[in-house]
Amino acid sequence: MFNYIIIGAGSAGCVLANRLTENKANKILLLEAGGPDEKKEIHIPAAFSKLFKSEVDWEYYSTPQPQLNGRKLFMPRGKTLGGSSSINAMIYIRGHRADYDGWAALGNNGWSYQEVLPYFKRSEEQRTHKNEFHGLKGGLRISDLICKNELSEAFVKGAQEIGYDLNNDFNGAEQEGFGFYQVTQKFGKRHSTAAAFLEPAIRRPNLTTITHAEATKLLFEGKKVTGVEYQQGGELHQVFADAEVVLCGGTINTPKLLMHSGIGEGKHLQEIGIDTLHHLNGVGKNLQDHLFGGIMYRTKKEVTLDSAEDLFNVFGNLFNHLFFREGPFTSNVAEAGGFIKTTDSLPAPDIQFHFAPAFFLEHGTVKPKGNGFSIAPTLLTPKSRGFIKLQSNNPNEYPLINPQHFTNEEDIKTLIEGYKVGWKIMNSEAFAGYRDTLFMPEKVLQTDDEIAEHLRNSVEALYHPIGTCKMGNDSEAVVDSELKVHGIENLRIADASIMPIIPRGNTNAPTIMIAEKAADLILKKQPLKVWREEVAGF
């Protein structure tokens, strides 16, 4: 018998395992469907795209999207210790303060920016910025890039050339502007939540970690969760908790497990042959993700990350990384970026940019010959909402994932404006010495209609799915502001699925924050002291 069972050793689960085991009286079980984080590409930052469609990736796909001309979008999700923090591009972005004030305005007490900032800071070991916006003593190393490509420097200069400000700290006082991303790296290696939080906790005698253990359903007495059934090596096992079970499976796997356990929209469960234990209308709904479109140029200069993998360079670069933790293999590929408002009337940015000094085609899995560079305008505030449903009552079958991208026409209009700004940057004087022929799109686009068609044919999801078990009190809310599942005892959710609205930026840091706050809620600790801007002097 355990006190707490955590399902999923990803970005949130590893943090929770660490925090809950700090008290030696707590006996914790951590279940992970994937294996140990031993694959060598996990620890080489520039190799992250080689992890896609491998044994450490769930390799999900959306249903065909009518507004994207029937395309299915690839949705990688980490399936190993560290979860998606072990396969992502390591960008550390919290989002905008308006995101969390927006959560609080929906009735989620305790989730305003001033209240969640201390939980962001608790995780962080910031190596550059020493001010009230950052944490210095946490377990997660937040670093500047060791190796910055000259093309990424040109991108930042190009943005300034067309009138945008330089921003050296996207997580500080202001998010707007352009600059280099900070990354979750330590000594040139990926610093996942497995490395930062699970590794120190795994030595504690009160933590049991079981890998290759996929949860199939929750166990109940009435409407009180008592344990979990999981499969490992073709056999079913049952484990029990006398305090709580905490779901950290993520935006796809958490609602999937709830529905297979009889928690969800009763009509849907009945249609696929699952008895409804508890009707909860919002399970699987409210799906949101960031979409990005691509602009790519060829360059004749062999200074890109494409050249870093050439036969003549790869062994030297690998040697530099393995023995000196330096060189282009320490790159996170998406080295630089920025945040803009497409109209001045907006309260916060609605477009983010990711720049790669390389071709980033088909999620980095396709490598055209030669050298190139890529810019990805990204929609930060999608108004389209999708859903996840089960295909059958077989827990081994993947769910149907329908993000319903671009079903709200405002989304494509906003991304068209982002494309136009990206085009201006790519054609700025800063890139004059690098631009060769246009690679994507194949020709200069003259009208909004042409840009829209290019986006429908080329946009991809940015691996930031959220919202399918949203926090709130309305008819589609799944958890309350303490992350307890409505109508169910001894069950909480602590992962990106609880986000009611997607943050403006990459979602790994917000997921870690959720786990930090969840730990205090579970342990009934007083919340961290509210951060007050006027006291900090900003």
Asked if the structure places residue 42 within a domain, the reply is yes
d(Cα 535, Cα 516) in Å, to the nearest integer? 23
Dihedral over Cα of 365, 366, 369, 375: its sign: negative
Q: Are residues 212 and 359 in the same domain?
A: no
Q: Are residues 17 and 96 in the same domain?
A: yes
Helices (H), 141-262: 150-161, 193, 199-201, 250-260
Burial (Cβ within 10 Å: 0-12, 13-18, ≥19) of residue 526: exposed
Q: Are residues 359 and 433 in the same domain?
A: yes
Asked if the structure places residue 356 within a domain, the reply is yes
Asked if the structure places residue 103 within a domain, the reply is yes
Last residue in a domain, options 416, 433, 458: 458
What is the residue range of 36's domain?
A: 1-65+73-141+183-284+466-538
Q: Are residues 332 and 271 in the same domain?
A: no
User: For position 201, which CATH number holds?
Assistant: 3.50.50.60
Residue with tokens 């870093």: 308
Q: Are residues 89 and 119 in the same domain?
A: yes
pLDDT tens for the chain, 538 residues long, are 999 999 999 999 999 999 999 999 999 999 999 999 999 999 999 999 999 999 999 999 999 999 999 999 999 999 999 999 999 999 999 999 999 999 999 999 999 999 999 999 999 999 999 999 999 999 999 999 999 999 999 999 999 999 999 999 999 999 999 999 999 999 999 999 999 999 999 999 999 999 999 999 999 999 999 999 999 999 999 999 999 999 999 999 999 999 999 999 999 999 999 999 999 999 999 999 999 998 999 999 999 988 766 545 765 666 566 665 777 889 999 999 999 999 999 999 999 999 999 998 888 888 899 999 999 999 999 999 999 999 999 999 999 999 999 999 999 999 999 999 999 999 999 999 999 999 999 999 999 999 999 999 999 999 999 999 999 999 999 999 999 999 999 999 999 999 999 999 999 999 999 999 999 999 999 999 998 764 443 3
Residues 6+ apart with CB under 8 A from 200: 18, 139
Question: pTM for the whole thing?
Answer: 0.97
According to DSSP, residue 195 is labeled I
β-pairing verdict for 491-493 and 460-461 = unpaired
Q: Which two tokens stand for residue 82?
A: 């560290």
Q: Are residues 448 and 341 in the same domain?
A: yes
CA atoms within 13 A on the CB side of 488: 31
b/e 73-99 (16+ beta carbons within 10 angstroms → b):
bbbbbbbbbbbbbbbbbbbbbbbbbbb
Q: Is 454 a catalytic residue?
A: no
Tell which residue, 215, 214, 216, 220, has the closest CA to residue 277. 220
Asked if the structure places residue 167 within a domain, the reply is yes
d(Cα 466, Cα 290) in Å, to the nearest integer? 10
User: For position 330, which CATH number holds?
Assistant: 3.30.410.40
Q: Are residues 366 and 272 in the same domain?
A: no
Strand partners, 75: 60
d(Cα 377, Cα 339) in Å, to the nearest integer? 10
How many other β-carbons are positioned within 10 Å of the β-carbon of residue 538? 13
Q: Are residues 170 and 252 in the same domain?
A: no
Asked if the structure places residue 389 within a domain, the reply is no
Last residue in a domain, options 437, 458, 479: 458
d(Cα 8, Cα 79) in Å, to the nearest integer? 9
Q: Are residues 172 and 303 in the same domain?
A: yes
pLDDT confidence of residue 535: 46
Asked if the structure places residue 417 within a domain, the reply is yes
Q: Are residues 231 and 112 in the same domain?
A: yes
pLDDT confidence of residue 533: 64
pLDDT confidence of residue 321: 66
pLDDT confidence of residue 49: 94
Q: How many distinct structural domains can be found in the chain? A: 2
Q: Are residues 337 and 411 in the same domain?
A: yes
Asked if the structure places residue 391 within a domain, the reply is no
Asked if the structure places residue 351 within a domain, the reply is yes
pLDDT confidence of residue 537: 37
d(Cα 126, Cα 529) in Å, to the nearest integer? 20
How many other β-carbons are positioned within 10 Å of the β-carbon of residue 207? 20
Last residue in a domain, options 424, 458, 492: 458
Q: Which of 191, 290, 454, 464 is catalytic?
A: 464
Residue with tokens 């089960």: 390
Q: Are residues 213 and 202 in the same domain?
A: yes
pLDDT confidence of residue 169: 98
Tell which residue, 452, 466, 444, 384, has the closest CA to residue 418. 452
According to DSSP, residue 509 is labeled H
d(Cα 376, Cα 354) in Å, to the nearest integer? 5
